């Protein structure tokens, strides 16, 4: 366990070095968040009763999404991992007494966490001072806040375990490009990154909520503003744990199979 | 004790001729060629031996090292390193060996070398006192004092290679695999690396297997030479066996390759 913590630490510290990138990210996310809220405002002005979430809840959803973008964005995968498979540096990683899967998992979590830590506070701080209903509202209750934190972490882990599948599959496909493109658009659409899932037609939504992609950002961002019933929240958390277990197991199995038939590229 | 018996390993390689038309054709029908990197390789190496593993490019040297270090799984044959099957219990095996791939880097690019070392300490679960001791020894022998605090990306090739070798020895492995450890080094660094490897072998009885194209490495280090060509072991003996008179070592080896028709 200690070795994976060390990986985590090193990666985390490395991530904190990139200050300019963080600043640029913060600005982008502000503009993006403001733009989204303006679009939603226009929709709400026509008929606010037609929407499943209040404008205030939607605004909170969007600001939290922007603040924790690094947790849930699909394309934020580590090029170093892909490179090591494609150019053969994986040879060195296989020479270490560590599980490849656990090591990559630890560093992916660390990477996303370090980026989010740098970015979330300025965004949240400013969003708090934006007037109702365009800013971020207080959580529905203290319990909702605690549940928000738990589902946020669970969502991050589900996201990383999904990315792990792509890393591991690269062992079999030689180049990661095709898989990544497919993965990115699937996750964006089904996770509620483009539009919150409640905005989809009810039948579609019901199926989407069962998919592993919904167990990433969808749960935490909706729990926060209290727009899920107690029953729905319970179901969502169980699903998160379920998908985390299933996807991790599949990933580990694939990783084992890959290690057996690995070919080190480039001599 | 390292033994390899009747080990075979082959790769499948997609091949096509040059040109756009050929590339389009390959979209629908791909031709594969099977390359036998190792065919029926057998040898055994005793504890404390220093073995030079030589052969022309593409002979199967690196494949052998990768099988011995548990990275690749052979198609057939048996491999035993100190009673362990490398590719079967990879985690247990690799904690007791050290590997240096001269063409690759194991140091973290963006952080000071000493941070990479500290990470390796945790990876191999090296006790504090032993780590300090190893670090001091290696720092002195490989002259690393000035290098440890700089990020790996800012070191020259020779400086980095010295750090790479130190990184592979922190956990005091009893067996050391060196895949072209002196590639691209200047004369001073080469001498330092050679001297260091010799000392490791003398003091700790470390078994060393090294592949190289630099015949001076072989002259300085290897008491035994295994020659491989086209995936087969062609000769297993000492430097004196192949040396005739006082001829130039590179010439002698080239002659040898030619006589086996492997170059």
Which residues on A lie below 8 Å from B72 (Cβ)?
262-264
Which residue is it, tokens 């506070």? A121
Q: Flag if A95 and B69 touch (Cβ within 8 Å).
A: yes
Quote the minimal CA–CA distance from A217 to chain B in Å: 31
A16-62 per-position pLDDT tens digit: 878 888 899 899 999 999 999 999 999 899 888 888 888 999 999 99
Dihedral sign (CA A184, A189, A194, A196): negative
The pLDDT value given to residue B245:
62
Which residues on B lie below 8 Å from A3 (Cβ)?
122-123, 125
Q: Is the pLDDT assigned to residue A263 strictly greater than 70?
A: no
B163-194 per-position pLDDT tens digit: 999 999 999 899 999 998 888 788 888 888 89
> What value does the mean pLDDT take over residues A72-82?
88
The pLDDT value given to residue B87:
87
* DSSP collapsed to 3 states, B35-89: EEEEEEEEEEECCCCEEEEECCCCCCHHHHHHHHCCCCCCCEEEEEECCECCCCC
Q: Please give the Cα distance from A219 to A232 (Å, whole number).
A: 10
Residues above pLDDT 90, as percent of chain B: 41
The pLDDT value given to residue A266:
56
Nearest CA in chain B to A94: B71
Which residues on A lie below 8 Å from B94 (Cβ)?
94-97
Could you tell me the pLDDT band of residue A265, with boundaries at 50, 70 and 90?
A: low
A234-255 per-position pLDDT tens digit: 999 999 999 999 999 999 999 9
Strand partners, B76: B8
Greatest alpha-carbon pair distance for chain B in Å reads 64
Interface test with B, best of A9, A21, A96 (most B CBs within 10 A): A96
> With a cut of 0.90, is the ipTM above it?
no
Residue A187 sits at the vertex; the CA angle it makes with A102 and A259, to the nearest 5 degrees, is: 30
> What value does the mean pLDDT take over residues A117-145?
92
Q: What is the mean pLDDT of chain A?
A: 90
Give the count of beta carbons closer than 10 Å to the beta carbon of residue B204. Answer: 14
Q: How far is CA A94 from CA A162, A181, A183, B17, B98, in A?
A: 22, 27, 26, 34, 12
Min mean pLDDT across A78-87, B25-34, B45-54 is at B25-34
Which residues on B lie below 8 Å from A94 (Cβ)?
69-71, 90, 94
The pLDDT value given to residue B133:
93
Q: Point out the residue among A10, A96, A261 whose CB comes nearest to the CB of B94.
A: A96
Query: How many separate helices (H) and strands (E) can be counted in chain A?
Result: 12, 0
Q: How far is CA A53 from CA A60, A155, A226, A244, in A?
A: 11, 21, 10, 27
Q: Point out the residue among A13, A17, A92 whose CB comes nearest to the CB of B106.
A: A92
Dihedral sign (CA A32, A35, A39, A41): positive
Residues above pLDDT 90, as percent of chain A: 61
Residue A112 has phi, psi (to 5 degrees) of: -65, -40
Q: Point out the residue among A6, A99, A267 whose CB comes nearest to the CB of B119.
A: A6
Which residues on B lie below 8 Å from A6 (Cβ)?
118-119, 122-123
The pLDDT value given to residue B2:
93
The pLDDT value given to residue A33:
93
> What value does the mean pLDDT take over residues B106-126?
90
**CB B169, CB B98: distance < 8 Å:** yes
Residue B75 sits at the vertex; the CA angle it makes with B74 and B81, to the nearest 5 degrees, is: 30
The pLDDT value given to residue A2:
83
The pLDDT value given to residue B142:
86
* Residues 158 through 217 of chain A touching chain B, CB cutoff 8 Å: none
Which residues on B lie below 8 Å from A17 (Cβ)?
110
Q: Point out the residue among A17, A97, A259 whose CB comes nearest to the CB of B123.
A: A97
Q: Point out the residue among B62, B123, B124 whose CB comes nearest to the CB of A267.
A: B62
| Alpha-carbon dihedral A40, A42, A47, A51, rounded to 10 degrees | 0
Interface test with B, best of A78, A92, A260 (most B CBs within 10 A): A92
């Amino acid at each position: 366990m200690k070795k994976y913590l060390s990986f985590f630490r090193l990666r985390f510290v490395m991530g904190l070095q990139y200050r300019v990138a963080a600043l640029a990210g913060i600005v982008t996310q502000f503009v993006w968040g403001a733009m989204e809220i303006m679009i939603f405002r226009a929709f709400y002005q026509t008929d606010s009763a037609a929407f499943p979430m209040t404008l205030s809840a939607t605004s909170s959803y969007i600001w939290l999404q922007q603040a924790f973008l690094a947790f849930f964005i699909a394309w934020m995968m580590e090029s170093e991992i892909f490179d090591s498979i494609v150019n053969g540096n994986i040879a060195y990683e296989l020479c270490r007494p560590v599980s490849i899967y656990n090591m990559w998992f630890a560093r992916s979590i660390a990477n996303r966490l370090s980026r989010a830590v740098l970015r979330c506070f300025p965004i949240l701080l400013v969003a708090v001072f934006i007037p109702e209903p365009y800013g971020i509202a207080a959580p529905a209750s203290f319990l909702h806040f605690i549940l928000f934190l738990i589902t946020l972490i669970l969502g991050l882990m589900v996201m990383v375990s999904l990315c792990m599948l792509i890393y591991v599959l690269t062992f079999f496909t030689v180049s990661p490009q095709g898989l990544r493109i497919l993965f990115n658009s699937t996750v964006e659409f089904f996770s509620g990154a483009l539009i919150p899932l409640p905005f989809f037609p009810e039948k579609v939504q019901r199926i989407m909520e069962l998919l592993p992609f919904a167990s990433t950002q969808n749960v935490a961002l909706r729990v926060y503003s209290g727009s899920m019933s107690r029953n729905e929240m319970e179901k969502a958390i169980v699903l998160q744990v379920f998908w985390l277990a299933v996807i991790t197991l599949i990933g580990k199995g694939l990783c084992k199979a890959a290690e057996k038939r690995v070919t080190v590229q480039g001599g | 004790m390292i033994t390899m018996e009747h080990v075979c390993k082959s790769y499948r390689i997609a091949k096509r001729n040059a040109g756009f038309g050929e590339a389009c054709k390959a979209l629908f029908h791909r031709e594969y060629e099977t390359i036998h990197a190792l065919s029926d390789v057998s040898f055994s190496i005793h504890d404390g031996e220093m073995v030079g593993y030589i052969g022309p490019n593409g002979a199967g040297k690196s494949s052998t090292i990768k099988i011995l270090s548990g990275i690749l799984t052979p198609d057939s044959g048996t491999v035993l390193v100190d009673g362990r099957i490398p590719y079967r219990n990879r985690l247990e095996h690799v904690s007791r060996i050290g590997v240096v791939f001269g063409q690759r880097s194991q140091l973290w690019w963006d952080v000071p070398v000493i941070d990479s070392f500290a990470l390796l300490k945790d990876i191999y679960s090296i006790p504090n006192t032993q780590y300090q001791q190893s670090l001091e020894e290696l720092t002195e022998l490989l002259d690393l004092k000035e290098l440890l605090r700089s990020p790996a990306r800012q070191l020259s090739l020779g400086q980095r290679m010295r750090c790479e070798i130190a990184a592979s020895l922190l956990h005091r492995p009893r067996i050391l695999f060196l895949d072209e450890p002196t590639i691209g080094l200047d004369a001073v660094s080469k001498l330092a690396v050679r001297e260091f490897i010799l000392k490791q072998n003398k003091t700790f009885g470390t078994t060393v297997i090294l592949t190289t194209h630099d015949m001076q490495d072989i002259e300085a280090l290897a008491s035994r030479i295994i020659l491989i060509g086209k995936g087969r072991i062609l000769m297993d003996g000492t430097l004196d066996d192949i040396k005739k008179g006082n001829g130039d070592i590179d010439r002698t080896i080239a002659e040898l390759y030619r006589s086996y028709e492997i170059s």
